[in-house]
């Protein structure tokens, strides 16, 4: 429960710590928490330090999303979409001569924008009075943090409350050559050359998004998949994402795992002659895979940054994956230590979730607000060439939670109007609502595969947060002609066996 401001101020004065709050981690969640806490009157310090990747890549304040995640990913996705628009332009009467894509120009523009964001975050912290320290933070006891700067100078600081917001970093598979010759998404967005023929290892959203935009700007791309696409997402939708990418020229090797990476020729930074790497793998049936690539990107998962921040010094509990175990208030088993964002064991590893958690925690700590973060019905989008947006439960999760007899699925393919003139393939885009019949036909899952799925999905998240039923969707007047209106006219159920194919405009 939140406590009043007078109690907070009195307690802080009595304890005489350097700060009311120290935040370890300068990503989206940590920044949101630090700024909101300072606005509420707390004395705050934020610690942030980026350890270089094995290839030496590093970046500024803002965490994964700003530097090596959402922002550069979406901008490269936009570069890919422009290629698709040019392909369609001739059918609409435009005389478009497609030239070659210049990787350096794209990366330079993206990095300039990111650097402006880094500067903006520093300024925002300064404006609200947050003390920013570019140091490594290690918890020594419940109120003491050891800080080490890049020169190796050590200084201890104290705080009434400590919040862990250290995020995650990409994982390398334990195979020969992975770290020596492979890269991850931490390296890709600042790469000084076009990746060329690329192998993306993994079927996570990171892998498929990277594969999608690289293929769309002209790279020869192969994705090595161990088992299923987009683990944790609705599998019908995931398979549709994979099928679309396959039709658009992304090659899939499935099921297969890599066993080694060997350098045949190193990349020459002076001439920008691409390197050449031989990747060996093993298919599920035991047959061997071997091919050569200019770039190997590993996107096989991410690990929380919890191994070197001193959790063992105070006995903060973590789960088997290293995530910090927290309760509904993001509090650890140590009463004054909290964890928010990707590093904890609840919610989704998404930027907006971390931001919401940070703001809510600040308000609980330093105001009378007792609002908890709602981790249900969180909207998200996979920015593959054809986007996939979703809210709530997958079909599999809904059946597991409520039982097959209580679930109904309304679904339909749809054909965007803008696809008609270029004659893009019909029955590619798809929408479905998952309904809990036992709860007044409450919508528990929303899924859409189509253009601008992220924009389509966001608005419906409000309705689902307010408990929308299928009847509410049906009574909503759609905007015609749009992709989004399909959700106001869904009438075919999976249980009926009726066709979900497009039937008209």
Residues with catalytic annotation?
480
Q: Annotated binding residue at 137?
A: yes
Token digits of residue 62: 């803002």
Give 69's DSSP letter: S
45 annotated as belonging to a binding site for a ligand: no
Report the C-alpha dihedral over residues 249, 254, 259, 260, rounded to 10 degrees. Answer: 0
On whether 203 is known to bind a ligand per the annotation, the reply is: yes
Which pair of tokens denotes residue 257?
């795992």
Which residue is listed with tokens 């003491």?
A: 144
User: Does 342 count as an annotated binding residue?
Assistant: yes
Say if residues 477 and 488 touch (Cβ distance below 8 Å). yes
Residue (of 68, 279, 59, 250) closest to 182 by Cα position: 279
The reply, when asked if residue 208 is annotated as ligand binding, is yes
DSSP 62: T
Q: Which two tokens stand for residue 16?
A: 């005489």
Determine whether the annotation assigns residue 201 to a binding site.
no
CA nearest to 337, candidates 131, 145, 147, 155? 145
For residue 443, say whether it is annotated as part of any ligand binding site: no
Residue 391 near residue 374, CB atoms below 8 Å: no
Residues 169/34, Cβ–Cβ less than 8 Å: no
Q: Which residues pair with 303 in a beta bridge?
A: 169
- The set of long-range contacts for 74-77, using a CB threshold of 8 Å and a minimum separation of 24, is 74/383, 75/106, 75/109, 75/110, 75/113, 76/106, 76/110, 76/189, 76/213, 76/217, 77/209, 77/212, 77/213, 77/383
How far, in Å, CA of 121 to CA of 61, rounded?
Answer: 7
394 is in an annotated binding site: no
Confirm if 98 and 88 have CB atoms less than 8 A apart: no
Is 335 assigned to a binding site?
no
According to DSSP, the residues that pair with 275 across neighbouring strands are: none
Of residues 26, 113, 18, the one with CA closest to residue 75:
113
Start-to-end CA span in the chain (Å) = 53
- Helix, strand, coil percentages for the chain (3-state, nearest 5): 35, 25, 40
Q: Which residues of 294-317 are buried (b: 16+ CB within 10 A; e: fewer)?
A: bbbbbbbbbebbbeebbbeebebe
Is 207 part of any known ligand binding site? yes
Q: Is 172 annotated as a binding residue?
A: no
CA distance 324 to 339: 7
Are 143 and 86 a contacting pair, CB within 8 Å? no
Question: Are 286 and 186 within 8 A, CB to CB?
Answer: no
Cα dihedral sign for 72, 76, 78, 79?
A: positive
Binding annotation: 74, 137, 202-209, 301, 342
Binding annotation for NAD(+): 202-209, 301
Binding annotation for FAD: 74, 137, 342
């Amino acid at each position: 429960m939140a406590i009043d401001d007078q109690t907070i101020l009195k307690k802080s004065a009595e304890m005489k710590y350097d700060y009311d709050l120290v935040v370890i981690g300068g990503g989206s969640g940590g920044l949101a928490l630090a700024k909101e806490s300072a606005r509420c009157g707390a004395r705050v310090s934020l610690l942030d330090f980026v350890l270089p990747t094995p290839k030496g890549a590093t970046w500024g304040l803002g965490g994964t999303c700003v530097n090596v995640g959402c922002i550069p990913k979406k901008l490269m996705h936009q570069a890919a979409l422009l290629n698709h628009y040019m392909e369609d332009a001739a059918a609409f009467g435009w005389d478009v001569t497609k030239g070659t894509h210049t990787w350096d120009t794209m990366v330079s523009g993206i990095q300039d924008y990111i650097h402006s964001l880094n500067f903006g975050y520093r300024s925002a912290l300064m404006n609200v009075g947050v003390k920013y320290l570019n140091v490594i933070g290690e918890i020594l006891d419940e109120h003491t943090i050891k800080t080490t700067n890049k020169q190796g100078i050590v200084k201890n600081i104290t705080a009434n409350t400590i919040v862990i917001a250290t995020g995650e970093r990409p994982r390398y598979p334990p195979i020969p050559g992975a770290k020596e010759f492979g890269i991850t998404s931490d390296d890709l967005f600042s790469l000084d050359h076009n990746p060329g023929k690329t192998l993306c290892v993994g079927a996570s959203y990171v892998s498929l998004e990277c594969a999608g935009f690289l293929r769309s700007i002209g790279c020869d791309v192969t994705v090595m998949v161990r088992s299923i696409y987009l683990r944790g997402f609705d599998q019908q939708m995931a398979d549709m994402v994979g099928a679309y990418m396959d039709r658009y020229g992304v090659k899939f090797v499935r099921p297969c795992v890599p066993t080694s990476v060997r350098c045949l020729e190193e990349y020459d930074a002076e001439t920008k002659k691409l390197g050449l790497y031989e990747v060996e793998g093993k298919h599920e049936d035991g047959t061997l895979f071997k091919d050569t690539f200019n770039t190997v990107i590993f996107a096989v998962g991410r690990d929380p940054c919890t191994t070197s921040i001193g959790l063992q010094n105070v006995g903060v509990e973590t789960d088997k994956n290293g995530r910090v175990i927290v309760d509904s208030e993001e509090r650890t088993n140590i009463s004054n230590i909290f964890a928010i964002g990707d590093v904890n064991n609840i919610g989704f590893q998404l930027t907006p979730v971390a931001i919401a958690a940070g703001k809510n925690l600040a308000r609980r700590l330093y105001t009378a607000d007792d609002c908890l973060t709602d981790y249900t019905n969180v909207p998200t989008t996979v920015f593959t060439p054809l986007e996939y947006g979703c809210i709530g439960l997958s079909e599999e999760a809904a059946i597991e939670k409520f039982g097959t007899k209580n679930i109904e699925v309304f679904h339909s393919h749809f054909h965007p109007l803008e696809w008609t003139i270029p004659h893009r393939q019909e029955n590619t885009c798809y929408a479905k609502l998952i309904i809990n019949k036992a709860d007044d036909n409450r919508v528990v899952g929303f899924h859409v595969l189509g253009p601008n799925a992220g924009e389509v999905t966001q608005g419906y998240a409000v309705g689902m947060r307010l408990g929308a039923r299928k009847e509410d969707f049906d009574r909503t007047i759609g905007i015609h002609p749009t992709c989004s209106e399909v959700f106001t006219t869904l009438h075919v159920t999976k249980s009926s066996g009726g066709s979900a194919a497009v039937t008209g405009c």
